[in-house]
Structure formats: C-alpha cells, structure tokens
Amino acid sequence: MKKINLIGYLLIIALFASSSIFASGGSRNGTAGAAQLLIPVGARGVAMSGSSLVGATGVEALYWNPANLARGESNTNVLFSHMNYIADMSVEYGAVSTNIEGFGAIAFSLKSLNVGSIPITTVQYPDGTGATFSPSFMTVGFTYARLLSDRIAVGVTANLITEKMDLVSATGFGFNVGISYKNLGNVEGLNFAVVLKNLGPSMKYEGSGLNVLALGQDLSRPTQYYKIDAASFELPSTLELGLGYTYNINAKNSLMFNGVFQNSNFYGDEYKVGLEYGFNNAFFVRGGYDFLPELNKDANIYGLTAGIGVNYNLGGIDLKLDYAYRAVKFFDANHVFTVTFGF
C-alpha cells in the first residue's frame, strides 16, 4: 500500500510541476530549442507512430518511457538504430542496459543527429568561402528504473545535451520521468503510463562566433571586437499520457493497441495511435498515425507509419530486427532500422 501511495504522490507532484510549463503551450508554438530531443529513435516505436509509452519495454523503452526499462526480459541488452531523416540528415542511436538484482535497471544511451557539411558564407563571399562546417547535435543519457511492485515501475533519465555549430555551442541538461502501471483496474493486458520529457533549465549559445568586429569612425578609438549576447531558449518539454491493451487471440496470435495524448510547451496537442500484430512472439506487423486536431492539415508533415519485426534466439542470445517506415510531406520518407541483442 505504501508503494501505491508513493506513486500517487509522484503523479500529483509531476502534474502540478508541469502545469506552469505547459499552460502557455499554444501561445509559444515553435519557440523551443534543442529540437533534436524530439526526434524519435527505435524502429518499433516509430512504426507505431510514437504511441509506445506502455508497449515498449527494456532498452527500447528508453526514449519513450524510462520506467519500462525495468520490464525488460533480458538481463543485459545492446541496441543500435539508424534513421534516414529529412533533408539528407540521419540519426544514429545506441544504448546498453543491464538489470542489477535488488537495485533496479540502468542504461546508457547516445543519440547523434548528423546534418552533414554546410558551406561557410560571409557578407564578402555570399556564395561561399570554399570552407565548410559540420554541425554537431548529441544527447548522452543515463537512465535508472525500478519495479516497485509487479504492477508499478518508475524511471528517470538524465540527458546531457550538446549543440555545436561552427564557432558557437550550447550545453544543457534535461530530465525524463516516467511511471507505468500494469493491469490497470485488474484488467489483464490493460496498461497505463505518464511521462514528462525534457524538463530542465534554458540553454544558451556561447563562443567566439558571437564576436563581431567593430570599426572605429576615427582614430580616437582602435578597432576591437564586441560580443553579441545570444537569447536563451527553453527545452521542448512534453507531458504524455499513454494507454495500451494487449489481447491474446490464442497461444500464437496477439494484438496490441496503444494510444497516447501528448501536450507540449511549444506545439499543439497530439493524439497518437498504434497497432501491433504478433505471431508466436517471433514475427510482428505494426502501424500507426499521429493526429494534430488543433493545427491545420499542413502543419503535420508526417503521415502514416508502418513496420515489421523479427525475434530470433541465437543459442542463448535474443536477436531482434525491426524496420519502420514513416511517410513525410515535401521530403523523402523516413526509414528506421534497429538491431537489439539480449543476453
């Protein structure tokens, strides 16, 4: 009973703490920075349109809900993922997790957004100087999760966020907090989750790239540099509520239905739905869609999602191969490939 009361207190505190963050979401659309935090990782979750707050478990749950890290089937997991993102960009992601008996589950993750080389232009050389620079956007995460009972799990992720563009850079910290409840209302297969993502202080760009050469109007003042004070920006925080139901048709066939409501401090509300069909816990077919009813139809550039997955045991090593497709307006579609090893 004490553990259940603790979860209730944590939910109340989290919801009250988030009220000030999300109260003005509609009036601040598009004002948040560190947008790479919103790029999803993992083919299974992308294939179900990001509705995997309750469906994803183990190391694949790190991005969606850190609490479900504690529900992994293997003691140690290693995951690698690659996404062909928009405009010739790509996202690389890797994570490793392990369960420590009597302590909980821990994990380390690394996500990198690769933009490629960009020509350097100046006022004197608007067509380019011949030199290039490569922006760097990275997120390094540490996650701790624990089962408080056979039904309740909690987890938190601390992220180190770094952005670098030529001679300027920004560094910040963000936190994801998740709670999941299994068999809600004593209904077998009905699961619920609450996740707060990207909570943290504002970030700000610094560096020599903000130094501007000031020319004196006469000889009374020598030539010198002055520094531009860049404006700070908030993290793209979100509050997500997830509900899912798994229906076992028979011993070999199952269906999973997932739904998520997402409220942001910078964007309109989103409603995400996903479906997964599994055969013999070895082959899976997935699909999903993300609805944005508050925005016009052209605001959401992402369309239907779909994917497949295969689970295979290699002499004591659980191998998972997953693929996801996400339709995109104006750009080529996203393709996500994920490989997971369980030991």
What is the per-residue DSSP string for 254-276?
EEEEEEEEEEESSS--EEEEEEE
User: Which position has the token pair 């999760």?
Assistant: 145
Measured distance CA(120)–CA(131) in Å, rounded: 6
The helix/strand count (H/E) of the chain reads as 2, 18
**Torsion angle defined by CA atoms of residues 50, 56, 59 and 60, in that order, rounded to the nearest 10 degrees:** -40
**Phi, psi (degrees; rounded to nearest 5) at 3:** -65, -40
Enter the tokens of residue 142.
């540490």
User: Partners of 192 in the beta sheet?
Assistant: 181, 243
Measured distance CA(121)–CA(128) in Å, rounded: 4
Nearest Cα to 173, choosing from 229, 235, 111?
A: 235
On whether the CB atoms of residues 76 and 166 are closer than 8 A, the answer is no
The Cβ of residue 328 has, within 10 Å, a number of other Cβ atoms equal to 14
What is the set of domains in the chain, with CATH numbers? 2-201+235-342 (2.40.160.60)
H/E element, 46: helix 43-47
Enter the tokens of residue 159.
């992220």
Mean pLDDT of 56-66: 96
Q: Tell me the one-letter amino acid at 265.
A: N
Q: Which residue has the higher pLDDT, 258 or 300?
A: 258
Residues 217-228 pLDDT 10s: 665 667 778 888
CA atoms within 13 A on the CB side of 74: 18
At 26 the pLDDT is 53
Query: Which letter, b or e, does each residue of 231-260 get, where b requires 16 or more Cβ atoms within 10 Å of its Cβ?
Result: eebbbbbbbbebbbbbeeeeeeebebbbbb
Residues 269-317 pLDDT 10s: 999 999 999 999 999 999 999 999 887 777 788 999 999 999 999 888 9
Mean pLDDT of 324-343: 96
3 pLDDT above the threshold of 70 = no
Q: What is the DSSP letter of 20?
A: H
User: Which position has the token pair 């004196």?
Assistant: 216
User: Partners of 311 in the beta sheet?
Assistant: 320
On whether the CB atoms of residues 3 and 55 are closer than 8 A, the answer is no
Mean pLDDT of 242-258: 97
Mean pLDDT of 161-185: 95
At 30 the pLDDT is 62
- Do the strands 317-328 and 76-84 form a parallel or antiparallel pair, or are they unpaired? unpaired
At 155 the pLDDT is 96
Q: Which residue has the higher pLDDT, 223 or 334?
A: 334
234 pLDDT above the threshold of 60 = yes
Measured distance CA(337)–CA(99) in Å, rounded: 25
- Do the strands 253-264 and 270-279 form a parallel or antiparallel pair, or are they unpaired? antiparallel
